[in-house]
Amino acid sequence: MPIPNPPFWATAIAALVADQVTKYLAIAYLRDAPSLPLWSEVFHLTYATNDGAAFSFFTGQVDLLKWVSFWVSVILIVVGLRYKKWRTIEQIGYGFILGGALGNGIDRFAYGYVVDFLHFKLIRFPIFNVADVSINLGLGCLILCLWWEHKQR
């Protein structure tokens, strides 16, 4: 029997691999280096750690956040294996969320913090990582689904 929701699994695996590879490179090349400007004063690669959630919410709540990442991942894996009525865009959206949750969850269990390195200095945005991008892309896909569904009614 084939595994249901192939776009879900492909997206989750791609997002997780991209996240973990880029974090490995950030640790290897950015941890002891100054901020690396790719576009001066606009976009830099800057090594940082975050023991909180997005925008440093829940700072110091490592145990809570690692278990939230774990359970979100478990629930999405179970639903991805059992639910067969997702549209492709929903599969991709949930896959991005799973990949991001797994990526940040791995960091929280392994290090007690999340490795961040993407730094938009122009707008003073908090430093973030590929897992964060994946989660936001996933949420964007799901919002698009809701919008399309609402528009069709």
Q: Active-site residue numbers?
A: 116, 132
- Dihedral (CA of 105, 56, 63, 143) sign: negative
